[in-house]
Structure 1
Amino acid sequence: MSEGMTDADGSHYDVVVCGAGAGGLASARALGGLGLRVLVVDKQRVQRPVAKGEVLQPGALRVLREWGTEKLLEERAGERLGRLVVRDPSGGPLMSLDYGQLPPDDRSLLAHDHLVILDALADGLGPGVEVRRGVLVEEPLRDASGRVTGVRLAEGGRRYDVRASLTVAADGISSRLRRAVGIDAKRVDYPHRLLSFELSGVTPRPDDFSAYLGDRGLRLVYPLPGDRVRLYVQAGPDELRGVDRAELAGWCERMLAEVPALGPLTGPLLAALDSRQLLPVSRFLSPTLSVPGLAFVGEAAYAVHPMAAQGMNTAITSAASLAGRLADRLDGARGMSDVDASVDAALRDYQEERQPILAHAARTSDNAARMVTDLSWRGRVLGRRAVRHTGANPRLLHTVTYNMSGLGPRPMTFLDRLHQIGLLPDPRARRVPNA
């Protein structure tokens, strides 16, 4: 694909990837692995630490294992977790997703810092991948037919064009490229925010990914490397507006008092108030994942509530899917017109394969989030019933675990939904399928 595509100023590449987050770096790793010449650009000069994208599911770990990235994360002290548990305020398990039920190589999650995951992806990039930071993507370039043929960039007061047969938009939920090609996607904000803290000195330290149900919503806890713990706390959109440090400390003490199992976090949390990040929470699914010459990956295509740990994971598996479909179509392509036609055919294949998977993951994430975050009377009743009845049904537990793992969708039927909220007995509750 690269033959005849490079000119003297280096303005032609096989692929230009816009965004160097998890989706962009995973795309560059996957496409660079095909032997393609790839340029990655990102507007940030330095990646900022954020409390997101810290838990890798088995589906994404399969891809990272193939790339050698999983080994890099393990060498950097990644935390293995075996369960995702919904608990009552006293810590009793209400619904436990046991990853030990899954195939032998897929029986754990891996938790690590977001920046470490990005660094591991970057360290695996091949020699054909170039990364430029501090570069703004201004707009897509298009030919007479409307096909995207690259991007216009701004860097250090200079504006220049980069041409490529494939452009990957991995530029986030407010994707400039997606808007520029006229893809109208509705972003829906949840009626709460998440307050994140990074704690040290917690004893005993959690050994799983646990969501605690309280009267005021979600409290999510899991370990990070270096004897640290991540705590997410649900808050109203304006609940903490204008509070000073003393008021925040009082709010945190009252919040933990509502969930007795989290009492041991009180001292470490009060010592970690300055680590707080207040995060808006949205859901979003693009109506299409590609147009001719352009693919959407990561949050440019899809964003979900972090409760189900699906966002970064689907970005990684989508990147692998895009590369796989492109490899299938490029085999035997000759000449630029043939290459462009092959790329566009691969983009249609990518759309056909990934759209239903992302739609299913979006529903799974939204259902999981609403079960524990919806504070309306109806939401509390249905959410608590769903947690309780799912937790007591081994067959449904296995289905939910498989769906959360990212190993492939196993859609729940209408009857399953009735079983899940206890409106219909399940005679198959003990029939757990093989992994």
Structure 2
Amino acid sequence: MSGDHDVVVCGAGAGGLAAARALDAIGLRVLVVDKQRAQRPVAKGEVLQPGALRVLRRWGTDRLLTRDGALRLGRLVVRGADGDPVMTLDYGQLPAADNALLAHDHTAILDALTAGLGPGVEIRRGVRATEALLDGSGRVVGVRLDEGDGGGGHDVHVPLVVAADGIGSRLRRAAGIEGRRSDYPHRLVSFELTGADHDSEDFSAYLTGRGLRLVYPLPGGRQRLYLQAQPGELRGLDEDGFARWGEQAVREVPALEGLSEAVPKAAATRQLFPVARFLAERLAVPGLALVGESAYAVHPMAAQGMNSAITSAASLAEQLAARLTPSAAPTARPGTPQPPAPEAVDAALRAYEEERLPVLAHTARTSDNAARMVTDLSWPGRLLGRRAVRCTGANPRLLHAITYNMAGLGPRPLTPLDRLHQIGLLPDPRAHRVPSV
């Protein structure tokens, strides 16, 4: 079995499927394994940023999503409880090809990625990667797989393993890669609403005294609602309890009054998420690369996690393609690389880490700042957060930089002076100097 594949991707979420799609495109034979026997609908990873959409356009995945009813959203808005915009990230100011978000169900996005896979990709579900295989030098040379059928594990040897197995990645730990994780002091509850008397055309976060209320549309006239909760608020609640809690949470926000009747009806769709921030200290070791939440996780408020997974997968494939030579063997697919040599793989992994780690670190900071501005309920956090939202919302130059960063079009770091402008401690004489598109 060792010669059947060039890569094993562990995890069939957005990061794993994007990695399979990208590596298949450069001619590598890919085995994808996932411990789940079927996709599970989850209420996250539903909004695609322009940076990820650039990648999906190259693959034709965006056309599949659009054909399946995906919605274009033009703005990410932070609003007061009355619904008035306080800070608006207007994607219409970005280049024409990148001037919108795309919203669809997480499973629809996974289906679109799967539909683009070629015959060089095999997916096996209900299969767990239990450990990484190492050679005498400590290089990862494959994985041990458990099919869960009582037959014991078996080993697959490949030049490259991609760990896309989530924030608790077993493979990351086996490779000795540490990371910095911090848990936010709240949870999020999601509801999928239908028939709500509320117009939502944007990705809108509402500032309230009890934390984040986030709403955005989904195909079929549905809406996704996220509610911030302190862990103690939810203890012991059954479905009726969640219905009453959710109804009260939206009734407290005048702009969301139209959702109050839809929330109790949607109590059965609720999902509860602990929220953490995580960034691995490394993205690769010889023979193994991290993609998706095994490397990087952020607060859903910023809509960056799935998007960074997709762009990271594309980056990994580009680094490999630059170091693989076309095969002259008559049995190979024309123009495809030979099975990659470990030396070439490891050179590509070093380049992948060098390129992506600073980008992910910057995105993590941007995402954390955005999340804390609207979720921090301590009095200093609320004071600084609300002030930052107002001052940023009144500064076109900072708005443009933040929109560009959130869109995933490339880092435009804010300077320490920008941070002082952002919280209103210094006036910004350049506030209206917005770069041309």
Shorter chain as normaliser: what TM range? over 0.9
Alignment of 1:143 onto 2:145:
no
Match of 2:167 in 1: 173
Moved more, 195-204 or 117-126: 195-204
**Partner Cα separation in structure 1 for residue 302 and residue 287 of structure 2:** 32
Q: How many percent identity over aligned positions?
A: 69
Match of 2:122 in 1: 130
2:150 is aligned, of 130, 149, 157, to 157
Kindly tell me the number of residue pairs found equivalent between the two proteins.
Answer: 427
Match of 2:229 in 1: 235
For 2:124, the aligned partner's letter is R
SS at match of 1:84: strand
Q: Does the CA contact (< 8 Å) of 1:11 and 1:161 recur in 2?
A: no
Match of 1:283 in 2: 277
Distance apart, 1:430 and its partner CA? 0.4
Q: Does the CA contact (< 8 Å) of 1:289 and 1:355 recur in 2?
A: yes
**Partner Cα separation in structure 2 for residue 421 and residue 373 of structure 1:** 17
**Partner Cα separation in structure 2 for residue 204 and residue 188 of structure 1:** 35
Summarize the Cα distance change of 1:11–1:337 in structure 2 as closer, same or farther, 3 Å threshold. Answer: closer
Summarize the Cα distance change of 1:82–1:338 in structure 2 as closer, same or farther, 3 Å threshold. Answer: closer
Moved more, 198-207 or 369-378: 198-207
Match of 1:74 in 2: 66
Post-superposition Cα deviations, 1:84-138, rounded to whole Å, max 9, x if no partner, equal 0000000000000000010110000000000010010000001100000100101
Mapping of 1:366-385 within 5 angstroms?
366-385=368-387
Alignment of 1:300 onto 2:302:
no
Match of 1:27 in 2: 19
**Partner Cα separation in structure 1 for residue 62 and residue 150 of structure 2:** 39
Q: Does the CA contact (< 8 Å) of 1:12 and 1:162 recur in 2?
A: no
For 1:43, the aligned partner's letter is K
Match of 2:414 in 1: 412
Post-superposition Cα deviations, 1:274-318, rounded to whole Å, max 9, x if no partner, equal 111111100000000000000000000000000010000000000
**Structure 1: unaligned runs, 5 residues or longer:** 1-8
Q: Does the CA contact (< 8 Å) of 1:333 and 1:342 recur in 2?
A: no
**Partner Cα separation in structure 2 for residue 77 and residue 245 of structure 1:** 30
1:60 is aligned, of 45, 48, 52, to 52
Mapping of 1:387-402 within 5 angstroms?
387-402=389-404
Distance apart, 1:251 and its partner CA? 2.1
For 2:108, the aligned partner's letter is V
Post-superposition Cα deviations, 1:230-289, rounded to whole Å, max 9, x if no partner, equal 000000022111023443333223212221000000111111111111111000000000
Post-superposition Cα deviations, 1:367-404, rounded to whole Å, max 9, x if no partner, equal 00000000000000000000000000000000010000
Moved more, 243-252 or 52-61: 243-252
Distance apart, 1:175 and its partner CA? 0.2
**Partner Cα separation in structure 1 for residue 264 and residue 256 of structure 2:** 13
Distance apart, 1:329 and its partner CA? 1.1
Alignment of 1:119 onto 2:121:
no
Alignment of 1:202 onto 2:196:
yes
Match of 1:348 in 2: 350
Match of 2:238 in 1: 244
**Partner Cα separation in structure 2 for residue 337 and residue 220 of structure 1:** 47
Distance apart, 1:434 and its partner CA? 1.7
1:317 is aligned, of 311, 317, 323, to 311
SS at match of 2:207: strand
2:187 is aligned, of 175, 186, 193, to 193
For 1:157, the aligned partner's letter is G
Match of 1:4 in 2: none
SS at match of 2:179: coil
**Partner Cα separation in structure 1 for residue 6 and residue 239 of structure 2:** 51
**Partner Cα separation in structure 1 for residue 31 and residue 78 of structure 2:** 42
**Partner Cα separation in structure 2 for residue 357 and residue 428 of structure 1:** 26
Match of 1:3 in 2: none
Q: TM-score under structure 2 normalisation?
A: 0.95
Q: TM-score under structure 1 normalisation?
A: 0.96
**Partner Cα separation in structure 1 for residue 326 and residue 89 of structure 2:** 45
For 1:346, the aligned partner's letter is A
Match of 2:320 in 1: 326
Q: Does the CA contact (< 8 Å) of 1:85 and 1:209 recur in 2?
A: yes
Output the aligned Cα RMSD. Answer: 1.5
Q: Does the CA contact (< 8 Å) of 1:205 and 1:229 recur in 2?
A: no
**Partner Cα separation in structure 1 for residue 297 and residue 121 of structure 2:** 26
For 1:248, the aligned partner's letter is F
Match of 1:425 in 2: 427
Alignment of 1:358 onto 2:360:
yes
SS at match of 1:229: strand
Match of 2:212 in 1: 218
Mapping of 1:73-92 within 5 angstroms?
73-92=65-84
Alignment of 1:263 onto 2:265:
no
SS at match of 1:238: helix
**Partner Cα separation in structure 1 for residue 181 and residue 198 of structure 2:** 39
**Partner Cα separation in structure 1 for residue 340 and residue 67 of structure 2:** 43
Summarize the Cα distance change of 1:245–1:38 in structure 2 as closer, same or farther, 3 Å threshold. Answer: closer
Mapping of 1:3-42 within 5 angstroms?
9=1, 12-42=4-34
Q: Does the CA contact (< 8 Å) of 2:28 and 2:339 recur in 1?
A: no
Q: Does the CA contact (< 8 Å) of 2:79 and 2:205 recur in 1?
A: yes
